Amino acid sequence: MDSLPLGSSGLRCSALGLGCMGMSEFYGPSDDARSLATLEAAVEQGITLFDTADMYGAGHNETLLGGFLKGRRDKVVLATKFAIVRPTAAYARTIDNSPAYVRSACEASLRRLGIDTIDLYYVHRRNPQTPLEDTLGALAELKAEGKIRAVGLSEVSAQTLRAAHAILPIAAVQSEYSLWTRDAEAEVLTTCAELGITFVAYSPLGRAALTGAITPTTLAEGDFRRAMPRFGAEAWAVNRPLVEALGDFASARGATPAQVALAWLLGRPQPLVPIFGTRSPERLRENIGAAALRLSADDRATLDALFPPGIAQGTRYTEEGMKNLDV
């Protein structure tokens, strides 16, 4: 698998990364043994970027990865995040960017992961009440101490990105980006390209909707997609034909919808790393097949016409989630 630089940090990672959130929370029941098998398969297939956060499963996700990393630390570029504080298992949260919290969160993540240094440490969400200089100053201290190697931001505006990068080099920006979520194209992608910052696309398969393998009625109890507007009955009546059209497009080219959706992202000219989530070694191997799929200019034009920006019905988060985006 090809590798890409993470900004100017000196780190490099695989062209596809693995998002580990669903191994602990949000997408219904999970199984640690199967998750560990998926992590093992990812390493075997050449994936080096593993993405987690302290709030996934209230620390469970980092602990799971920490166990897996023993004896494999040199094979993984480990990214984790801080800032979202959930005092209970509920979705409601607060955002803490204070210097004291930056340090305490980092120390806690290092303990759960069982490592000395986090490769890429993201500000998961921005709290505009805390000056960027304060948050980034604390991150600069952690970097000087060798506790983190590079700094990233998640779901920030182009304006915030420029301001932050002027204070401290930003290696990566992580935001939702897929065929049916193209908000980043307005400004953030071009700003990343201009500043030499790698863009990391999470939910590149539309939270599995673009795979054609799920529908709102097949989601398990407790799956947080049940509450997401894009999966509501009215929205799905509009969104289902989009998914079906992608399935027809992929079938005509001897590929799966997931492979086409990932290949569409991999074909962009700037450094961009899609991080798909899965708990299945079989699905992981299918998704990695996207790295060998080459879409022609006509293919890309067809997909762009099928999925113009704003085509998907429904917001991508609930009202609680949307209010935490820096747009």
Determine whether 97 is exposed, middle or buried from the number of CB atoms within 10 Å of its CB (0-12, 13-18, 19+): buried
- Whole-angstrom distance, CA of residue 137 vs CA of residue 233: 46
| Catalytic hit among 56, 101, 121, 317 | 56
Specify whether the CB–CB gap between 115 and 121 falls below 8 A. no
Run of H or E residues at 175: strand 172-176
- Is 56 an annotated catalytic residue? yes
Q: Is residue 237 within a helix (H) or strand (E), and if so which, with residue range? A: helix 233-252
How, if at all, do strands 84-85 and 49-51 pair? unpaired
> Rounded to an integer, what is the distance from CA 46 to the centroid of its chain?
18
Active site residues: 56
